[in-house]
Amino acid sequence: MTHKLNYTLAELAKLLSAELVGDGQVVITGLATLQNASSGQLSFFSNPFYADQLKTSQASAILVEEKYLDRCSGNKLVTAKPYVAFALATQLFDNSPRQGAGVHYSACVDASAELGENVSIAANVVIEANVKLGNDVVIGAGCVIGQNSILGDGCKLHRNVTLYHRVTLGKNVEIHSGAVLGADGFGFAFDGSKSVKIQQLGAVKIGDDVEIGACTTIDRGALEDTEIAKGVKIDSQVQIAHNCKIGEHTIICGCVGLAGSVTIGKYCIMGGGSGAVGHISIADKVQVSAMSLVSQSIPQAGMYSTGTIQAKTSQWKRNAIRFQQLDSIAKRLKEIEKSTDKN
């Protein structure tokens, strides 16, 4: 998308595929929430919880569904999906620094590396042997790219990202600071007295349009590759162990932990702090609630949760005691049922 400091509403309507209701010559210089917006800013309405703010918002225009038009005065950009339109608008007004093309003098680039057109390599980057970078790739300061790794067109690595050897990124992959891809999976065999390391012989393959959050780790496979399919979005501080396979357009929220050889389908959501034990499969379109542990395969789409609900500590302790008593209660209930049946 084109980036500039301001847009008229007519321009935004075209760029966001929205219908303009109001003055197309109004100039928009930024984005804001309904409550805090001022003149010159664009806001959006997608959550009914904020309906009361529609009439009082000082935004110069609001992204809104057609059914809410009568609730807000002033200029509107009408769209069936206001939140998606807002996401696209944030890209138009993106103010993050742009790194110019070229190779910084302090970067260490192996002579065998292949660099595409318009590549940007910042200070203190290390690019090892036989690495291939596509066109328009941006490598932030302090990144390390291991031998035989391949980065597709349009990839962006923020500062201090580490790719071990044989990591493959598709097109337009974005990886945030501190992430590590391709470290050894946690594999050991116990010989009776000590743990013997299992060398991790696989690799990591990342599909197109994947985004990976800060300080996330994705381990290489033991024999086969760890694979993240196109369109997957992974939050910060996530651990994905060796040989995991994540399906297209799945969302992995912050602090999720996946043990080895977990397979997750397409369009799934793993809630924050959730996890999965190893060697299980999760079907397409499954949502796992925050802080839940998936301990067995999930064969059907739907929403799944584990754990207990929030309660005052005193009540939680009483409930915990009741959980411990469930087995004996079940046994006594069976005895009562048997005696009732005899009578």
Q: Which two tokens stand for residue 10?
A: 């007519």
CB-count exposure of residue 130 (10 Å: 0-12, 13-18, 19+): middle
Nearest Cα to 115, choosing from 175, 159, 155?
155
- Spatial CB neighbours of 226, under 8 Å, sequence gap ≥ 6: 185, 202, 203, 204, 205, 218, 219, 220, 240, 241, 242, 243, 244, 245
Element (H, E) at 61: strand 61-64
Element (H, E) at 108: strand 108-109
Task: Give catalytic status of residue 242 as yes or no.
Answer: yes
- Tracing tokens 């390390």 back to the chain, one arrives at 144
Separation in Å, CA 281 to CA 56, 222, 264, 277, 284: 49, 18, 6, 10, 10
For 188-210, letters b (16+ CB in 10 Å) and e give eeeeeeeeeeeebebbbbbbbbb
Q: Which of 3, 104, 158, 242 is catalytic?
A: 242
Active centre residues (catalytic): 242
